[in-house]
Structures are given as C-alpha cells and as structure tokens.
Structure 1
Amino acid sequence: MPKPLSLSFDPIARADDSWRQRWGHVPSMPAITSIMRAQQILLAEVDAVVKPYGLTFARYEALVLLTFSKAGELPMSKIGERLMVHPTSVTNTVDRLVRSGLVAKRPNPPSWTWTSASARTTPRSARRSSRCCARCASRPATSRADGARGAVRPARQG
C-alpha cells in the first residue's frame, strides 16, 4: 500500500494548475490523473494481499484466468489477448508461475510453434490458489480508505 502523502497541497490540483498555465484548460487531465492514481493505490493493495502467496497481481490474474478456463489451459496468445498484455509479459508471468509450481507449459499440438499454459491441479497449487482467492475476496482492495481518500474526485470546473 502506498504511503499516504503528507503534502501541504493536492498534487493532482497542482499538476492541473501547471498544465493549465502551459497548455490551457483541459478538464480531462485531472480526471485521468485521478483515475491513474486510484489504480495505483488499488493495485498496491491487491499486490499486498497476494504477496504472501508468492504472487503478484499479474501472476494471480493469469492463474485465475487459467483456473476458470474450461480445460484449465489456454494458448499463451489467448492469455495475452484476454489479459490485454504484450506476449513478452505473458511469457514472463507464466514462466514465473511455472517456477512456482502452479502452472505447466507444453507445446500446443495444432501448431508446434504455439505454447499452452495449464493450471496444475496438484493439491499444493489448488490449496494455495483457493486460499489466495478467498483472502482476496474477503478483503477488498478498497478496505484501506485512508490511502485512497481523495484519489478520485470530480474534475475541477472552470
């Protein structure tokens, strides 16, 4: 969780003022900045929840995607498409899950140039995944309102 800022000013309002002085009034700028800040706060909170399980949000997201797929496996290209990430990121994420013993990789027979990732169904990985999912569900990322307070607010009128 990011530490609450102890500033005497609102950094989003300050950025909006600077933007306005240089390029004129653009109401979407503080809105976008607020949304991105809120996303950073929520992602840090989720990462803190999944960290005890040796996961990051990206690894958790890929593991859940594989677990919820019909066959428990997907081609790497489908993982990237569904998570909207670059193929290199998918490879890195899946390789880390393989090293953790939670996912296996294998060639995909229709085209041996493709690789599939499958969620393992070992008792260890199943227990670890279910504990992590349960903890994430029982402790929503918005539970720590102190750090998120004021992160999203309406754009200033003017």
Structure 2
Amino acid sequence: MTAPTERTLLVLRHSKSDWTGGQADIDRTLNPRGQGQAQDVGSWLAEQFPVIDMTVVSPATRTRATWALVSAELANSPEARVDERAYAASVTDLLEIVKELPGDLRTVLLVAHNPGVEDLVYLLSGESIGMSTSTLAVLTLPGTWADAGPATATLQAAGRPPLLA
C-alpha cells in the first residue's frame, strides 16, 4: 500500500481565552465566547473533514480546552498528541512538528498560538492571513510531511467557522 500523495494540514488558533483570572499565560482557559467559537469549529470540521487522523495540541490550557470542545463535535475524534514545542512556538518549531508527522497520516489538525500559526501558514503557502482566535486555515501539501517547507502548500480556505472562505 502506498502512502497518499497529498496531505491536509488544518491549522487552528485556539479560541478566545479568559483574561479575568490573573493566571499565568499557559494556564488561561476559554471565556464563554471562546467556548462557542470552539464548538462552531468542531461542527464545521465534522461536516468538511469527517476523518482527521491526528491532532497536535499545545500544552496550554486554552488550546487543550479548544480541542476538547472541537473534538466533542466530531463523530470520530482522532488521537490527540500534546506537544510541548507548540506552546509559544516559532514558525521553525511548528514546521519541525509538521515535518516529523508520521507518513501514514493524511489529515492533521494543529492547535496552537499566534504569531506562530500565522507565520506557519505564510511560510507554507506564501499567503498572509490574519489568524484571530478560532481562525482555521486549510492547507494541502503534496508529497510527504517531511517535504513541508517554504511555498510547498496551497491555502484552500481560511477564516472563522462557520463562515470559512
């Protein structure tokens, strides 16, 4: 069996976090608006991507909470891997995570933070998009994950579900 020749990378910035509690940055959770945003992302993904092979999540509370709400909307929730490198990650760190993904995975969701996610989308696609909270970018990459690099992907869609263009 040969590996698929095209991969889909779904890049999601965490949902709106709560700044009222005075917690450390890594410990901030979602505010009510962010909770609703995450559910919207999950509903959109359930319709558009019924099979997601894996999710890579930053260890921050707000990214893990975003993923929990997104995954609750999916019929088949994929394995989630918390990757310490995804918190406060540079574009280089995020690209390394993508390049190390197992070759048999076809569709992967990355839940992380700005400016890293915005920089990753720009690096891979050459297109600059704003990644406000709960913004999702859908990228297709030919070849293997290890081939990911500057201008190797095509930006298929970007926005905040359910209004994704």
Higher Cα Rg: structure 1 or 2? 1
- Higher fraction of helix: 1
TM over 0.5: no
TM bracket (short chain): under 0.3
Normalised to the residue count of structure 1, the TM-score between the two structures is: 0.25
